[in-house]
Structure 1
Amino acid sequence: MTAVLATVEDTRAFGQRLAEILRPGDLVVLTGPLGAGKTVVVQGIGAGLGVRGEVTSPTFVIARVHRPDPARGGRVPLVHVDAYRLGAVPDPRAEVDDLDLDATVDESVTVVEWGEGLVEQLVDAYLEVRIDRRGDESRTVELVARGADWEDRLSALPAAVSR
């Protein structure tokens, strides 16, 4: 499933719509170059899940947990990880293990930027979101189902996502 998103606002709205099909235990792995809009997608997911506080890039702290806000209809915690800096260490998988993501993965939606090749072992199935920035500032987003019922869940996304 592929979508073309013309603006940053469209990218955030895409993440918000994606949140509609997410549930506790889900792992979403975001890939794409610097500036592609990975954090913007996570901001939309956070809004869609109704989490507390502002969702910002956890590049320097590596991981942040955003608790659900009942006043905003919050239903599940969001664990937001940025593994960008882990790519520079000799054993990035050991660094990921040190984050203890497996301790929270069952009750949270876990979204990992730059996680390709590092976090897939946390679950049996996950969603890969590939984001590419085009020359005109728009983005192409491709959703790749990796096991379980992701294909069925992706087919439930609003039509505006699946252009």
Structure 2
Amino acid sequence: MHELGKRLGRVLRAGDIVILTGPLGAGKTTLTRGIGEGLGVRGPVQSPTFVIARTHPSLIGGAPLVHVDAYRLADAAELDDLDIDVDRSVVVAEWGAGFDLERESWLEIVIARPTGAGDAVDGPAAESTDDSVDWSEAPVEPRHITLLGFGERWSEGVL
């Protein structure tokens, strides 16, 4: 997930909105960490669950990353209420599926993972931002990623 995020981060630019959809533990925050690395933003990129949105400024003169937890937002209008400068930022919103974005283009990434995979990491521990945990030792279960580009921006593909 992290490597895919880095690749995406290298093609994203100011004004892009990325909607991440997937169950708890699917890797949405890990993907966003990779996007942040690809964009060259200040980290660490952590889950925005308790603050709704975190802004990570660019370290290389590019667009900042705004990482949003849309779980507690009722609709895209509440996203507007956060007063995010969408046109000058790359916005990544976790749990934003179904939002009517009223934008010309956006990217939706749907992450599916198997359930009942035995010893695989699952549940809240998989979404942990605790850097003291060595996740490289945790078993990795496969993910199925669907990249859906909407609008002219993505008419020639995503990656």
TM-score of the aligned structures, taking structure 1 as reference length: 0.76
Alignment of 1:29-68 (within 5 A): 29-68=19-58
Deviation per residue, 1:81-109 (Å, 9 max, x gap)? 011122xxxx44443232123xx111111
Q: For CA contacts below 8 A with separation 6 or more, give which structure has more relative contact order.
A: 1
Please state whether the residue corresponding to 1:29 is helix, strand or coil. strand
In structure 1, give the amino acid aligned to 2:29: T
Would the aligned equivalents of 1:32 and 1:132 in 2 still touch at CA under 8 Å? yes
Structure 1, gaps ≥5 residues long: 1-10, 158-163
Aligned sequence identity (%): 54
Change (3 A) 1:33 1:46: same
Would the aligned equivalents of 2:36 and 2:43 in 1 still touch at CA under 8 Å? no
Please state whether the residue corresponding to 1:52 is helix, strand or coil. coil
Deviation per residue, 1:6-65 (Å, 9 max, x gap)? xxxxx1010000112111110111111111111111000000001012000001100010
CA distance in 2, matches of 1:25, 1:80: 13
Q: Which residue pairs with 1:100 in the alignment?
A: 83
CA RMSD of aligned residues (A): 1.6
CA distance in 2, matches of 1:112, 1:119: 13
CA distance in 2, matches of 1:62, 1:85: 8
Give the count of matched residue pairs: 135
Query: Which portions of structure 1, spanning 4 or more consecutive aligned residues, are displaced by more than 2 angstroms?
Result: 91-97
TM-score of the aligned structures, taking structure 2 as reference length: 0.78
